[in-house]
Amino acid sequence: MHKIYRILGKRGRITIPFEIRQRIGFRYNDVLSFTELDDSSVVVRKEKICDNCKCLEEDFEENFILEDFLDGLSEKEQRNALLHLSLLWAEKQETLNRR
């Protein structure tokens, strides 16, 4: 294992190196959690939003709405899904405000 260095940008943003994204399987729109440890290090995890998404995909109906989807999730999965949607909404608002 070798260290890879990145510089934190003015807005607190950083790019996760391609090699790490590829090896761990991070993808666009994944929900990541950050956990600060006692030694000031940070653990980044890819959060699983839905345990049975493939199953739900197979049962998808034309009139299937978001509320139906959320009702089929556990409380933790609902929280993760809503967090993900909130982040997407915030990104969209930021993009609109820059125009």
* Residues 33 and 47: beta-carbon distance below 8 Å: yes
User: May I ask the CATH class of domain 1-47?
Assistant: mainly beta
Using the CB atoms, write b or e for 77-87: b if 16+ within 10 Å.
bbebbeebeee
18 vs 78: CA distance, rounded Å: 29
pTM of the model: 0.48
**2: amino acid identity, one letter:** H
Q: With a cut of 60, say whether residue 56 has pLDDT above it.
A: no
Q: What are phi and psi of 53, to 5 degrees?
A: -60, -40
pLDDT at 11: 87
Task: Tell me the per-residue pLDDT of 7-40, one tens digit each, with 9 for 90 and over.
Answer: 988 888 888 899 988 888 888 878 888 899 999 9
Q: With a cut of 90, say whether residue 76 has pLDDT above it.
A: no
